[in-house]
Amino acid sequence: MFKTPEGKEIFVIDGHTHFWDGSPENQSNIHGKQFIDCFYAYHTNLSPTEELWEKSKFEKYSEEDIYRDLFIDGPNDMAIIQSTYLKDFYKNGFSSIERSTKMAARHPERFIVNGSFDPRDGEKALEYIHYMKEEFDIKGVKMYTAEWNGDSKGWALNDPSAYKCFELCDKLGIRNIHVHKGPTIIPLSKDAFDVHDVDYAATDFQNLNWIIEHCGLPRLDDFCWIATQETNVYGGLAVALPFIHSRPRYFAEVIAELLWWVGEDKILFGSDYAIWTPQWLVEKLWAFQIPEDISSERGGVQLTEEIKEKILGLNAAKLYNIDVEAKKKQLAGAPVQIAAE
């Protein structure tokens, strides 16, 4: 729960978090080291100084750390944990559904754990989707189209093998497809950040919600255009939001573009924990106003309190069928546990 300076209580769902193990013990090769190093560079580059972590904690943090950072020191009511395997880089995967589910089991009322699959695995991918549904009853998945797999350095959402998987997701009621379209690693011969496959997949799978993490940065312009056309395409703010601290005017321009093109009902808050912690992000977002000159160039769009509430939790609640009032009551009965158990 985030409490505004005026004392108003705001319901927060953090749409993009991880429980990863990037420690040297889990790294398979230099790529694994470079991957977590790159995340750490994002962390050190865009965090306020007082929010910086030691490298070793960043590589691998505990179940107690994530609970404290998100819910005790942090403003979250709920968090969506994404799975990212990176099997070629990490022995036990970077953040697996099994490890995240085990962590989340201590506070199941607060976590939604999403799965992940790789369509290039063919039949095995389909079997794996069944397994995740039966074993973990997943409501969503995280797609990492730039993930390496043997000789392949990436795939597209509209590949035929991917369509088979999305058909199955649709059938099993796995409705929320989070797609990493952001700073990424390479399909080599293409524009590495291309977002046009989203357009095809969203048109062909109208029952599914396509949440484009990082708003397609660094292809924000293309993403805005696609999201305007497709009613089932959403933008996740992870990575865009931390600019609110280091470059507030850039952030204002980005959020103004998103409000103008994509609209207030289709933007989702995400801290990208543990790259960033949510408390300072939410505080700054709540206090933020789009400067007059930037707003007036886009028909006067502004971050009103009503819009901020939608971004911080209500939009995600709709996607995941969460009854906010009932959830608030449930959480009030199970307050965050500050003392050691």
Partner 1 sequence: MFLANLMIERELEVWDRLSAVSDPELDEPITDMNFVERVEISDTDAVLVEFRLPTYWCSPNFAFLMAFGIRTEVLALPWVREVTVQLNDHCFGDEVNAGVNSGRSFREIFAENCDGAVLDEVVEKFAAKAFDRRQEVVLLAARSLVGSAANVVSMKLGVLRKMHFSGEEELRQLPRYLDLLEERELAVNDDDLAFPTWEGKVIPAEELEAHLKRLRSTRINMEFNGAMCRGLASTRYHEVEIGPEGPTLIDFMAGRVPPRTAPQAGH
Size of the site for partner 1 (CB under 8 A): 35
Contact positions with partner 1 (CB under 8 A) in 295-334: 297
- The single residue among 124, 171, 190, 318 that binds partner 1, judged by CB under 8 A, is 190
- The single residue among 254, 267, 282, 316 that binds partner 1, judged by CB under 8 A, is 254
Comparison of 36 and 211: residue with beta carbon closer to partner 1:
36
- Count other C-beta atoms under 10 Å from residue 186's C-beta: 12
Q: How far is the CB of 190 from partner 1 (least distance, A)?
A: 7
Amino acid at 139: K
CA 191/CA 185 separation, integer angstroms: 11
Comparison of 91 and 247: residue with beta carbon closer to partner 1:
247
Comparison of 183 and 263: residue with beta carbon closer to partner 1:
183
Contact positions with partner 1 (CB under 8 A) in 193-232: 193, 217-221, 224
Pairing of strands 233-236, 267-268: parallel
Q: Which stretch binds partner 1 (CB under 8 A): 33-41, 57-65, 266-274, 280-288?
A: 33-41
Q: Which stretch binds partner 1 (CB under 8 A): 134-142, 180-188, 230-238, 326-334?
A: 180-188
80, containing H or E segment: strand 78-81
Closest CA to 295 of 340, 328, 335, 255: 255
Q: Are 284 and 245 in contact (CB under 8 A)?
A: yes
Q: Which stretch binds partner 1 (CB under 8 A): 13-21, 66-74, 188-196, 275-283?
A: 188-196
Contact positions with partner 1 (CB under 8 A) in 80-119: none
Q: How far is the CB of 251 from partner 1 (least distance, A)?
A: 9
The answer to whether residue 44 forms part of the interface with partner 1 (CB under 8 A) is: yes
The answer to whether residue 45 forms part of the interface with partner 1 (CB under 8 A) is: yes
CA 108/CA 43 separation, integer angstroms: 28
CA 301/CA 280 separation, integer angstroms: 24
Name the H helices within the chain. Answer: 30-46, 55-59, 63-67, 97-104, 123-136, 160-172, 196-204, 220-229, 243-246, 248-261, 278-287, 292-296, 305-309, 315-319, 324-332
Q: How far is the CB of 224 from partner 1 (least distance, A)?
A: 6
Would you give the binding string for partner 1 spanning residues 137-176, x where CB under 8 A is met?
Answer: ----------------------------------------
Q: How open is the CA angle 117-20-284, to the nearest 5 degrees?
A: 105
18, containing H or E segment: none
Q: By CB under 8 A, name the binding residues for partner 1.
A: 31, 34-35, 37-38, 41-42, 44-46, 183-186, 188-193, 217-221, 224, 240, 243, 246-247, 250, 253-254, 257, 297
